[in-house]
Amino acid sequence: GAAGCVATLLHDAAMNPAEVVKQRMQMYNSPYQRVTDCVRTVWRNEGAGAFYRSYTTQLTMNIPFQAIHFMTYEFLQEQLNPHRQYNPGSHVVSGACAGAVAAAATTPLDVCKTLLNTQESLALSSNISGHITGMANAFRTVYQVGGVTAYFRGVQARVIYQMPSTAIAWSVYEFFKYILTKRQEERRAGK
């Protein structure tokens, strides 16, 4: 558990600036044509902190995502594959469902993270300070702009994105675990 938390902390610290740039370039009517233009403009106009404005939200989203993801996978494996044998079908189904559940459950956090990263103009105009900082401010702003349903905008796309990703990841993990375990057993039997 501790290793997973540390890995998430380091991964998100390295990837958060890239996520900020990606989201700003994906915005409707984005003023950026190239990654370098986006990085320079954000750095110049908002400072280095803009690349980490959503870092705590990213962590707040990724830690629960991974916890839900792993617990759901393990639960489904207990149901579909109680003897824990190598079974590609159960690994694909469990992985896809685990990703779907985790993605759906953490969508409100992803919506707030996206708002923090993009500083989207409609939300900014409803915000008193004209600048969204921190998760609590993002949660309030999302609610002001669209109510409870706004927390789940894009949930279908997020689930559809995560299902194949987690299905593939678990299938590959289980395959290599099977191969490595089989080799170890063969070496022991050969001695």
What's the domain count of the chain?
1
pLDDT of residue 127 exceeding 70, the answer is no
Q: Tell me the residue range of the domain where 50 lies.
A: 1-190
- What pLDDT digit, counting tens, does each position of 149-167 carry? 999 999 999 999 999 999 9
Find the radius of gyration of the CA atoms of the chain.
20
Tokens of 140: 């309030």
Q: Higher confidence at residue 138 or residue 134?
A: 138
pLDDT of residue 134 exceeding 70, the answer is yes
CATH of the domain at 137: 1.50.40.10
Give the span between the Cα atoms of 104 and 142, in whole angstroms: 17
**How many residues make up the chain in this entry?**
191
